A and B are shown apart, each in its own frame.
Chain A
Amino acid sequence: NAGVTQTPKFRVLKTGQSMTLLCAQDMNHEYMYWYRQDPGMGLRLIHYSVGEGTTAKGEVPDGYNVSRLKKQNFLLGLESAAPSQTSVYFCATRQAGRVTGELFFGEGSRLTVL
């Protein structure tokens, strides 16, 4: 029972390159989220999904795209990376029907854009 797994854990990109971060969960949770963590700014929501085939924008969605083709996977894509996207990215999940429920986090993916 791995919980929430993020791959890759580390990545270095050059400006303009593209990449995809994968979040996989075995908790059977409906809701999945992508956050970015920057010093002094806490966690900011990029995109989220309330179920397979659905996505929605969060607080800072520009420059990112997401897809939820399977319930257990939530992909975060950067089409043309910029230095401002250097950050630590966290995936989180939550059970549906429990708006009071807490989030379960992966261990993070550290991305550096040169």
Chain B
Amino acid sequence: AQSVAQPEDQVNVAEGNPLTVKCTYSVSGNPYLFWYVQYPNRGLQFLLKYITGDNLVKGSYGFEAEFNKSQTSFHLKKPSALVSDSALYFCAVRDRNNNDMRFGAGTRLTVKP
């Protein structure tokens, strides 16, 4: 069965600094990997996904993520954080034979002015 780990409950960065939110996964075979963002009292919104090909994936709002097969990781990154990036971020994985998607526990990102 597939699973996802987000090792940090909380990440704090200063505005303008680069940010990284970590994610590692476990799946049999090749994974489909996703990042979602959740703002207060809202549903999850899709940010980006890795399916195949280039290991660096670009998504919405200037976010990108790097797929590393040997380390089974899919870390979310942004070169320059904004206060408005403060939210809860979820990593998710689906293997190619399943209809469901498994989510990590979430990482709360706080960007301070």
Give the B-binding residues of A (Cβ under 8 A).
4, 31, 33, 35, 40-45, 48, 50, 56, 58-59, 90, 92, 99-100, 102-108
Q: Considering only CB atoms, which chain A residue lies closest to B45 in the complex?
A: A105
Q: Considering only CB atoms, which chain B residue lies closest to A58 in the complex?
A: B100
In the assembled complex, the Cα of A33 lies from the Cα of B103 at a distance in Å of: 13
Query: Is the Cβ of A43 less than 8 Å from the Cβ of B51?
Result: no
Query: Is the Cβ of B9 less than 8 Å from the Cβ of A40?
Result: yes
Give the A-binding residues of B (Cβ under 8 A).
4, 6, 9, 32, 34, 36, 41-46, 49, 51, 90, 94, 96, 99-106
Query: Is the Cβ of B42 less than 8 Å from the Cβ of A102?
Result: no
Q: Considering only CB atoms, which chain A residue lies closest to B43 in the complex?
A: A105
Query: Is the Cβ of B90 less than 8 Å from the Cβ of A99?
Result: no
Among B4, B41, B45, B103, the one with the most A-chain Cβ atoms within 10 Å of its Cβ is B103
Q: Considering only CB atoms, which chain B residue lies closest to A33 in the complex?
A: B100
Given contacts A42-B106, A48-B100, contact A4 B32 (CB under 8 A): no
Q: How far is the CB of B50 from chain A (nearest CB, A)?
A: 10
- Interfacial chain A residues near B105, Cβ < 8 Å: 40-42
